Amino acid sequence: MMQMRIVSIYNHIMFVKVAKLRVQYPGRPQPAVDEVSFELRAGDIGVLIGPSGCGKTTLLRAIAGLERVTAGEIRIAGEVMGSDHIHVPAEARRVGMVFQDYALFPHIDVGQNVGFGIHHLRKAERADRVAQVLQLVGLPGIERRLPHELSGGQQQRVALARALAPRPRLLLLDEPFSNLDVDLRERLAHEIRAILKAADATALFVTHDQLEAFAIGDVIGVMHEGRLHQWDDAYTLYHRPATRFVADFIGHGVFTPATLWEIGNQVMVQTPLGALTDIAECPLPSAFSGGECDVLLRADDIVHDDLAPVKAEIMRKAFRGSEFLYTLRLASGETVLAHVPSHHDHKIGEWIGIRAQVDHVVTFDRETGN
């Protein structure tokens, strides 16, 4: 079975602890969540990312108390919230949730929506708290407006204000931006991060969008087929992916065959683009049979250089504003990707010079994929 590297990057006291969690629905052969473990520090924002059906929403619902745990354990602030024999009801967990459809009541105004979960407070206290959280989310003074009078982004911030009003000890957000247009989503992700930090909230966020995950998360977990492959900061996920799935899912890159060999104390990496030298980090050739492996080459590892001896044909190009993402085919038939400044506007079918500029290599066994 593929070995998963589950790494906590913090040494501080953890607020949320999930250990070997399994959620299995009756009648289904495979668990929706399988052996998932991670920890989240108080005041931090965690993000679960992965393709549709990977189990991230089920995991979020289990933490909220909306799904029962089959095996393993969920702890919040040291208390067991869920296990195979303990199930604390959702309403007793002091967990807030923000859903993708906002779930605002259309027939009552914003103030009543935000104050819905704090009816236990006296009227004046409730009004003060509503005004406080609306100020926090950047929408002061809109208590009397109805939800349909607001933009999608404003409605999402009202939903966040409503979730924050009861002062939950943990906030869960399930793809809250999925109904918004692409340009608004990344901007709102930055805004929501600032709001959560200002509120000193501990939050767990689910998305399938990498830009959202990178914009909002202190730590990010990549899920696939119910399993958590890696739990790390964005930089580590990108540059040091723990599994081949993470390497393929995060960022733009390809796997290319390579051979490792050692000259003195220096490890050389032979690839279709030539030998990679002066590598700061690289496994020894003995880690693979015959030193043969697959190497991950990111689009930003490939440099357009007209003087380079290696040439590649442009097969596809995607304009990204400041740059193109070129899909290139080498004479050997191997494919690589490259980010190229947009003023280098070459035509499809044109051959250009490229070279690899890599300071560390990410390798995987060619046969097992690990």
Q: What is the pLDDT of residues 220-242, one digit of tens each?
A: 999 999 999 999 999 999 999 99
Q: Which pLDDT score, from 0 to 100, does residue 265 have?
A: 77
Pairwise CA distance, residues 131 & 370, whole Å: 53
Pairwise CA distance, residues 363 & 22, whole Å: 30
Pairwise CA distance, residues 17 & 41, whole Å: 9
Pairwise CA distance, residues 111 & 96, whole Å: 18
CB contact at 8 A, 18 and 73: yes
Q: pLDDT tens for residues 150-198? A: 998 899 899 999 999 999 999 999 998 887 777 778 888 889 999 999 9
- 174 Cβ partners below 8 Å, 6+ apart? 57, 60, 97, 98, 99, 100, 206
Residue spans of the chain under pLDDT 50: 1-12
Label residues 38-64 b or e (16+ Cβ within 10 Å = b): bbbbeebbbbbbbeeebbbbbbbbbbb
For 239, the 3-state DSSP assignment is helix
Q: Return the closest-CA partner of residue 54 out of 252, 296, 221.
A: 221
- 319 Cβ partners below 8 Å, 6+ apart? 342
Q: Which pLDDT score, from 0 to 100, does residue 369 have?
A: 67
CB contact at 8 A, 256 and 302: no
pTM of the model: 0.88
What amino acid occupies position 299?
Answer: A
CB contact at 8 A, 299 and 323: no
Q: Which pLDDT score, from 0 to 100, does residue 264 have?
A: 76
CB contact at 8 A, 190 and 177: no
Alpha helices in 115-233 (DSSP H): 123-136, 152-164, 182-198, 210-216
For domain 252-364, which CATH number applies: 3.40.50.970, 3.30.1130.10, 2.40.50.140, 2.30.30.90?
2.40.50.140
Nearest-5° Cα angle at 237, 80 to 335: 145
- Please state, rounded to an integer, the average pLDDT across all residues of the chain: 90
Containing 238, the helix (H) or strand (E) segment is helix 234-239
For residue 2, give Cα distances in angstroms to 206, 220, 222: 24, 20, 15
Tokens coding 119:
């009816």
Q: Looking at domain 14-94+168-247, what is its CATH homologous superfamily?
A: P-loop containing nucleotide triphosphate hydrolases (3.40.50.300)
Tokens coding 141:
């003074």
What amino acid occupies position 45?
Answer: I
CB contact at 8 A, 125 and 167: no
Q: How far is CA 153 from the centre of its chain?
A: 21
User: Which residue spans of the chain are classified as CATH 3.40.50.300?
Assistant: 14-94+168-247
CB contact at 8 A, 278 and 284: no
Pairwise CA distance, residues 364 & 370, whole Å: 5
Q: Which pLDDT score, from 0 to 100, does residue 3 have?
A: 41
Pairwise CA distance, residues 108 & 106, whole Å: 6
CB contact at 8 A, 81 and 99: no
User: Which residue spans of the chain are classified as CATH 2.40.50.140?
Assistant: 252-364
Helix axes 152-164, 123-136, angle to 10 degrees: 130
